[in-house]
């Protein structure tokens, strides 16, 4: 029987992207393509500029249709932002709880851990791939791979996008956690200069890095 795999996440789950700002698109479907090439049936729900909250909702809605789920985790601060220029409609997001916004870092971590725990209870065969935010340190049973581990980067588990997403959140964290932010910025500098794994566009894993991720996933699939 052919196994049916669902992929969820942000643009990192979509594959390798080109470098043409006037025609920005996926050049190679990454893990999805490698799965298809090996005979799996695949549906990819990854959302460019998507958040963990959006992935979590999609997994809750669709997990029963798949034998296995793969989730590329994104940066937790996106969950609390309603940036909609990719969508032309309101983006699903969470409201910050009635706590001091200076506590955003703790709020994000708590929310991310809750999402991971709940999806594990929903989906026995879910595989977590740490993308913009690592999954390794979150005590998830089904941890499969972290991109940072695969490319040999040693730094913070949490990453804050330096672009338009969560800019107000970034400023809060910059002030309270200057050393962590320095490490996060170092990671961004690492990927934009790492042509081996993150080019042609400089901010997404390319097909070669997706192959490393896929090899980890395939080992998990072969073990079931």
Model pLDDT for residues 60-92, shown as the tens digit of each residue: 999 999 999 999 998 887 887 765 544 455 667
The pLDDT assigned to 194 comes to 86
Q: Across residues 32-36, what is the average pLDDT?
A: 98
Of residues 22 and 102, more confidence is placed in 22
The pLDDT assigned to 77 comes to 78
Checking if the pLDDT of 167 tops 70, the result is no
SS (H, E, C) the chain: CCCEEEEEECHHHCCEECCCCCCCCEEECCHHHHHHHCCCEEEECCCCCCCHHHHHHHHHHHHHHCCEEEEEECCHHHHHCCCCCCCCCCCCCCCCCCCCHHHHHHHHHHHHHHHHHHHHHHCCCEEEEECCCCCHHHCCCCEEEEHHHHCCCCCCCCCCCCCCCCHHHHHHHHHHCHHHHHHHHHHHHHHHCCHHHHCCCCCCCCHHHHHHHHHHHHHHHHCC
Q: Which of 33-42, 47-56, 135-144, 182-191 has the highest mean pLDDT?
A: 33-42
**Domains, in order of start, for the chain:** 4-222 (3.40.50)
Q: Across residues 117-121, what is the average pLDDT?
A: 92
Provide the pLDDT confidence category of residue 12 given band limits of 50, 70 and 90: very high
Q: Across residues 155-161, what is the average pLDDT?
A: 56
Among 59-68, 110-119, 140-149, 203-212, where is mean pLDDT lowest?
Answer: 140-149
């Amino acid at each position: 029987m052919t196994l049916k795999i669902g992929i969820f996440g942000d643009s990192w789950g979509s594959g390798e992207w080109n470098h043409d700002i006037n025609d920005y698109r996926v050049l190679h479907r990454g893990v999805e393509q490698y799965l298809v090439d090996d005979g799996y049936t695949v549906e990819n729900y990854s959302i460019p500029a998507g958040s963990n909250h959006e992935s979590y909702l999609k997994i809750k809605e669709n997990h029963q249709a798949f034998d296995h789920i793969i989730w590329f985790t994104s940066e937790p601060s996106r969950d609390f932002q309603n940036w909609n220029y990719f969508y032309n409609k309101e983006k699903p997001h969470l409201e910050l709880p009635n706590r001091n916004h200076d506590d955003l870092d703790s709020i994000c971590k708590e929310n991310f851990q809750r999402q991971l725990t709940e999806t594990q209870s929903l989906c026995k065969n879910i595989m977590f791939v740490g993308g913009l935010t690592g999954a390794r340190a979150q005590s998830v049973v089904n941890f499969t791979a972290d991109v940072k581990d695969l490319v040999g980067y040693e730094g913070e588990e949490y990453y804050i996008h330096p672009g338009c997403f969560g800019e107000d959140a970034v400023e809060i964290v910059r002030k309270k956690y200057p050393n962590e932010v320095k490490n996060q910025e170092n990671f961004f500098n690492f990927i934009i200069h790492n042509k081996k794994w993150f080019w042609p566009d400089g901010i997404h894993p390319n097909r070669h890095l997706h192959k490393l991720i896929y090899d980890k996933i395939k080992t998990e699939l072969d073990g079931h």
